Amino acid sequence: MRAETLQRNEEFQELYRHGRSYVGRCVVVYALARGAGGTRVGFTVGKKVGHAVERNRVRRRLREIYRLLYPELASGFDLVIVARGRAKAAPHGVLAGELKGLLRRAGVLAGEEKNA
């Protein structure tokens, strides 16, 4: 099943303004509960991460990790996943573990309680 994505700049800006951020060493997750509907996601990899090839590789890695976590996610959230500079060199297991931990803290994983 294909995940719904955030595509418009206004959607990203709303999450940056009104969403809650969860910061890790390699990734920052912005989450905003929006009620009904499926969970939507957007990925951001800034120029500080590297050239286009490196940024696209990091984006692909994050998308794959998200795809594997998708069945465990609760519905009704908007998410923006922002890669930090360390994401480029981080092993897959570290990146996946950190993203899962941040989503758990955000209360986005189904069956998980939100922790401040």
CA atoms lying within 13 Å on the CB side of residue 82: 17
Task: Tell me phi and psi for residue 91, to 5 degrees.
Answer: -65, 155
Q: What is the pTM of this model?
A: 0.90
From the number of C-beta atoms within 10 Å of its C-beta (0-12, 13-18, 19+), residue 115 rates as exposed
Q: How many CA atoms lie within 13 A of 24 on its CB side?
A: 24
Mean pLDDT of 15-41: 93
pLDDT at position 35 is 81
51: Cα separation from own chain's centroid: 21
User: Per-residue pLDDT tens for 57-81?
Assistant: 999 999 999 999 999 999 899 999 9
pLDDT of residue 61: 97
pLDDT of the residue at 2: 64
How many angstroms separate the CA atoms of 98 and 36, rounded?
27
The domain spans of the chain are 4-106
DSSP percent split of the chain into helix, strand, coil, nearest 5: 45, 25, 30
At 2, the amino acid letter reads R
* pLDDT for position 38: 84
Residue pLDDT, tens place only, 79-100: 999 999 999 999 999 999 999 9
Q: Is residue 111 classed exposed, middle or buried when 0-12, 13-18 and 19+ CB atoms within 10 A define those classes?
A: exposed
**CATH architecture under which domain 4-106 falls:** 2-Layer Sandwich (3.30)
